[in-house]
Amino acid sequence: MRATLAIPGKAAASKRIEAIAQSGPGGRLAVFLIKRITFVPVSLFVIATIAFGILYLLPGDPAVSIVGDAGSPEDVKRIHTELGLDDGFWTRYGTYLNNVIHGDLGVSFFAQEKVTTQIGRYLPNTLELILFAIVIAFVIGVSVGSFAAYFRRRYPDNVARVLITVMQSTPDFFLAGVLIYTVFYLAGAAPAPAGRMRIDSLDQAGFLLIGNFFHGRWYDFWDALQHMFLPGVALGFVYASYFAKTARASMSRALFSHQIEFARACGLGETLVLRYAFSTARTPILTYGAILFGVLVGGEAVVETIFSWQGVGQWALDGSLKLDVPVMQGFILVAGVITLTIYLLLDVVVGMLDPRVTYD
């Protein structure tokens, strides 16, 4: 009975979706968005399941690491019952999913604090750092890559390729060390590599760069920017190599294409030619930027630790070293949500920038 009722409902829904699709130039995009967004809960379910599954399989006993060496077997048993570790797989899985749906990601074993509160505190720090690093990586990478593509197989190209190899071969945490020694110790041009602001500042976390900028607090903004400089450059310089490689490949393809040949034959200036070439080459570069964003959530954990950045990467790394299960699960969920969001945004932006892409 239910099935027969559901089918007309579905037909009506798909008819409505068709109507949206034909409603105008934005229609296809709207349908695409609806389809993608309806898929989001499914992906989230998969991510939550994996987050639960992996950590269920962890052999280490979190209760033992909570009580420490001094704890007695009774303590371990008590914590087991408190955390519900003795329940069966399905009970725990069901409880976990139910809690996640209700926005409850549990309480950190060690900090005794809600995971959602911790995410709220640490995530802004990470997002600002990642954005800053990606901007640096984009600027360095795309300029080096385009430069190499323009002089492909000539002397400047070789120089650029050496530079790309150097960027690609430097581990980001090593570069962070080199920067701390040279910029902080030798040149004294950067603040001490600890935290986001000067020590006596009232705010130590949050969207400090963006917030202070929009509130016009220039002194604080400058302070936040200075602290952002070393970790941002350490990440940006290393990840610039991938931008540079992508830009070099896609720009040289664009520069040797028929339409660029035609543009030159028409006598357009080189600046304009480069701009046209870039507009065909930007899609792969943008795609790379989105992938990089996903990689950096968690991928910058070591750099965050070095600079005591108090971001989600550092938080998750600490958590996974201590076997803090709710923290790890929370982080996997956050990283998954961010990655999904970024890829969705990417598909929309690429569709707007590249008329050849259709949403079907």
Positions that interact with another protein (CB under 8 A): 46-47, 50, 54-55, 57-60, 161, 165-166, 168-171, 173-174, 177-178, 180-181, 184-186, 192-193, 294-295, 297-299, 301-302, 305-306, 313, 316-317, 320-321, 323, 328, 331-332, 335-336, 339-340
CB of 336 to another protein, least distance (A): 6
Between 131 and 210, name the residue whose CB sits nearer to another protein. Answer: 131
Give the tokens for residue 301.
Answer: 């954990």
The least distance separating another protein from the CB of residue 170, rounded to whole angstroms, comes to: 6
Nearest distance in Å: CB 58, another protein: 6
- The rounded distance, in Å, linking the Cα atoms of 288 and 138 is 10
Q: Assign 10 to helix, strand or coil.
A: helix
Min. distance of Cβ 176 from another protein in angstroms?
Answer: 9
The nearer residue to another protein, 5 or 321, going by C-beta atoms, is 321
Contact, 75 vs 65, CB < 8 A?
Answer: no
- Residue ranges of the alpha helices (H) in 200-324? 208-214, 218-255, 258-265, 270-299, 301-306, 312-321
Reported as half-sphere exposure (CB side, CA atoms, 13 A), residue 19 has a value of 6
**Residue number, 140 or 263, with CB nearest to another protein:** 140
Record the tokens describing residue 54, joined without a space.
């992996």
Report the b/e string of 268-280 with b at 16+ CB within 10 A.
eeeeebbebbbeb
Least distance in angstroms from the C-beta of 118 to another protein: 15
Closer Cβ to another protein, 209 or 290, answer by number: 290
Using alpha carbons, list the distances in angstroms from residue 325 to 86, 115, 316, 339: 15, 10, 10, 21
Q: Measured from the CB atom, is 66 or 274 closer to another protein? A: 66
| CB closer to another protein, 17 vs 295 | 295
How far apart, in whole angstroms, are the C-alpha atoms of residue 334 and residue 340?
A: 10
- Residue 25 phi/psi, 5° resolution? -60, -35
CA 219 to each of CA 196, 197, 205, 225, 326: distance values in angstroms, whole numbers, following the listed order: 14, 11, 16, 10, 38
C-beta separation of 347 from 36 below 8 A: yes
Q: Which two tokens stand for residue 308?
A: 């005591």
CB of 268 to another protein, least distance (A): 29
Q: Least CB distance from residue 270 to another protein, whole Å?
A: 26
CB nearer another protein, residue 28 or residue 92: 92
